[in-house]
A and B are shown apart, each in its own frame.
Chain A
Amino acid sequence: MKHYNQLVEEYLDGTLSINEQIKFNEHLKNDQELRKEFRLRKEINRAILENDILNLRESLQEIIDTPKERTIFQNPFVISSFAASIIILIVFTWSIFFSSNITPEDIYINHYYKYPVITYNRTVSDNLNNTNLDKAFLNYETENYNKSKNFLNLVLNDNRQNAMAKFYLASCEMELNNIQAAQEIFLELIQNSNHIFWEQAYWYLALIYIKKDDIDNASLILNKIIKGNMCKKKEAESIIKMLD
């Protein structure tokens, strides 16, 4: 007696004899489980025959995996608008800060908040690092930033590229008011867009420049947030308006 699944496969392959086909059809009418299995295998076959979709998936994966080239400055229109924005800021910045009551420090205080601990996916291979990350997050949440830094540095000693550890290390520095140290880490984080903290790093960097009263660089970063349609676009636009 042929195996249940083998019968289904042979039926779909068209290699059953006429008698076997008739028997199979009888079973199919009366056996719900067999019908379920038959439908599944038939759909799998259809999916496999979609050569065009399989190729499209591969092409899209290639495109996604290719590091993004930053072509922003290759577009003359973007250059002109960017230059125009910079000129506007240079021309009007002095009057803004001498005529307005809102100081950069006010803007910083109104917009800065401690970045919350996010959940993250664990993998078996980095159990040790996750233990250190857990400890770092626990200390971060309980405002023991120096302890949190120690654990984050342990994670980074193992993997210098860990963007999550870097980001929270910078956040600790922000909370400890070590603005220069935080700035250096955020500058490192914005170099590579292949991590989820890329846009947040831009935001905190802009806040650092505002806090340091470095309006030119703050405006530069805020405009990048706006033009890049990043997650803090609305806030960046509002700050730019405030500066205006």
Chain B
Amino acid sequence: MSSHSYTIIFFIIFGFECLYIKQLIEISKLNTLQRKRLVKGILKQDKILLQKLYSENFSTIKRFVIENNGSEEDAQDVFQEAIIITYRKAKSGTFQLTSSFKSYIYSVCRFIWIKQLSKKQEENINVGLYNEYESIEDIEIDEYVVNEQYKLYQTHYKRLSHKCQEIIRLSLKKVSFKNIAKIMNMESEKYTKQKKYRCKEQLVKYIKSDPKFAEL
């Protein structure tokens, strides 16, 4: 072999060593301090962190969902709900990261998608195949169910006009109808109360007519 070939081989080995060292650095980074920062970032809804979590993990989730009869939109929905469940757990102080975040979020996403497949009961899907994954330590079934319910309610709440959303929100904050009328520049307390009722009825109607409501 010529000296030129040895130089090339040296650079190849150097390249792989760089990758190996980088991996070692990444593993060592996952210490308690880093985990605490991750939880803090999720709780603060740090957009840069959320963007990073999405770009680092979404392709794996997408692959899993698409390979299991889903679409990219399904994968996006699953990823979003997994982060929200993680946020809920962090908020309640029950978020325990015993492996890498990648493994954690993958297992939560897998759990959510399997649950959704079970609901769909599509003819060509043998849900039994996935039963082995149905129970995981990272997520409680109740957490999933509550999250699904609230997602449905919140999605339809966002469909209401901005005015309706605001009246309902203020009334739930125990602001008197008299003050809501003033804040919202509405003609009277009575009208505001009626308006709030109509808005809420619209919301309940949206929710009840959603096919997902029957599945809850």
Contacts and interface: CB of A to CB of B under 8 A. Distances in A.
A53 B87 contact: yes
A47 B154 contact: yes
A84 B19 CA distance: 11
Most buried by B among A6, A41, A52, A60: A60
B172 A53 contact: no
Main secondary structure of the interface of B (DSSP, over half): helix
Interface size class of B (residues with CB under 8 A): 35 or more
A9 interface: yes
A194 B11 contact: no
A191 B214 CA distance: 41
Main secondary structure of the interface of A (DSSP, over half): helix
Interface in B40-95: 45, 47, 50-51, 54-55, 59-60, 63, 66-67, 71-72, 76, 79-80, 83-84, 87-88, 91
A50 B197 CA distance: 20
Given A6-B197, A47-B157, A81-B19, A231 B66 contact: yes
Contact of B50 (A5, A63, A88, A194): A63
Contact of A231 (B63, B88, B169): B63
A1 interface: no
B47 A230 contact: no
Q: Which 10 A-B pairs have the closest CB atoms?
A: A84-B15, A47-B153, A47-B150, A80-B15, A60-B80, A84-B12, A44-B153, A81-B19, A64-B76, A77-B22
12 contacts: A5-B201, A13-B171, A47-B153, A47-B154, A48-B153, A48-B168, A49-B169, A56-B87, A68-B55, A196-B71, A199-B63, A230-B63
Interface of B: 5, 8, 11-12, 14-16, 18-19, 22, 45, 47, 50-51, 54-55, 59-60, 63, 66-67, 71-72, 76, 79-80, 83-84, 87-88, 91, 149-150, 153-154, 157-158, 168-169, 171-174, 177, 193, 197, 200-201, 203-204, 207
